[in-house]
Amino acid sequence: MTEPIYSWHILAELAGGQGLDGCAICGVSSITHWRSRGLHERCVPAMVERLAPSVGWAFVGAQTPAAGPAVEKGLSTVETLDSNEGAPVDTSGVPADVLGCIQSGASVLPLHWRTDEGTCSCGADCGNNAAKHPLTRNGKDDATTDPAIVVEWAARWPRCNWGIRPPEGVVVVDVDPRNGGHETLARLQDEHGALPRTLTARTGGGGVHLWLTMHGPSRGRLGQGVDIKRNSGYLVAPPSVHITGGRYEWVDRRPSAVAPAWLRSLLDPTPPRPRNAPTTGDLAPLVKFVSAAQEGERNRSLYWAMCRAAEAGHDLAPLIDAGIGIGLTPHEAHAAARSAQRTAAA
């Protein structure tokens, strides 16, 4: 079996070996949260881009014959793979693209499919989710790389579509043409520069999935019609069939490229540093900064200060009190604290 290429993981491990006296990228001398080493999680992408070759997650496509029934059905010529328990498993009934995913280290799951009548196999009116939602009880949490389980699913639901969960350290730019996604992405590239050529799938609905190497938390939406999918979710994968009848297919199988700096900046969920904000993560200046925030800047200033305090390991209670003191509700202040703690711990 071909080993998956996780260059972002290897390089981030190297980057994480810096000293603890300050982040290797931003230089801030606060507690770092990436494996308790000298690098903030949000700073990993910059280090990866600095050190990385142009190689990321590699899709290992199982080979199919030049002609014959196996090609027509999208089946693999790989007869057996070892299950997670080491026993050989006959995989001849599993689509080649699905085998390629699990051989590459990406978990897959079975999805409802398009019937001959053009409806979702669940029998309900699923709207935009038709032929895309999971067949198993726990949904995306049932996704696996175990060939034995995948073979069982393929036998139980031979017509099912397939979902894939991106590996950790990979994001997928999901472009939906029905909502203006192509126009949004074209505008962003005109403004910031072209995205690198990378692992790419064409969706059955006329969109594209662009796979890119990127660490750390990110926003879930880049713009109108352009969503961002990560390991916390899943995408419909080749060779699935869209509810309209179009088939998903890989159009570029090169390894995932490193996300460019402009894309990482747009996806960074950490708010930008407000004007006149303190330059350290010490708690007293942060409380003073929040207490001086004016109407219209209160929520943004509080969240920014809380992110800095959470990164430094401070108790957020004084900032919660400061937020309430400038007119925010307790609910708003506590919600900002929860969001900041999730961002700092990511």
Q: Helix/strand/coil (H, E, C) string of 155-210?
A: HHCCCCEEEEECCCCEEEEEECHHHCHHHHHHHHHHHHCCCCCCCEEECCCCCEEE
Give yes or no for residue 16 having a pLDDT over 50: no
- Any bridge partners for residue 209, and if so which? 174, 201
Tell me which DSSP letter residue 248 carries.
P
Contact 93, 84 (CB under 8 A): no
pLDDT at 345 (0 to 100): 66
State the Cα–Cα distance between residues 322 and 127, nearest whole angstrom: 45
- DSSP H or E run through 227: strand 226-229
Neighbours of 331 (CB within 10 A): 8
- Which of the four pLDDT bands, split at 50, 70 and 90, describes residue 25? low
Neighbours of 328 (CB within 10 A): 20
Q: Each residue of 233-248: b (16+ CB within 10 Å) or e?
A: ebbbbbbbbbbeebeb
Give yes or no for residue 73 having a pLDDT over 70: no
- Which of the four pLDDT bands, split at 50, 70 and 90, describes residue 76? very low
Give yes or no for residue 280 having a pLDDT over 90: no
What is Dmax (Cα atoms) for the chain? 73
Percent of the chain clearing pLDDT 90 (strictly above):
44
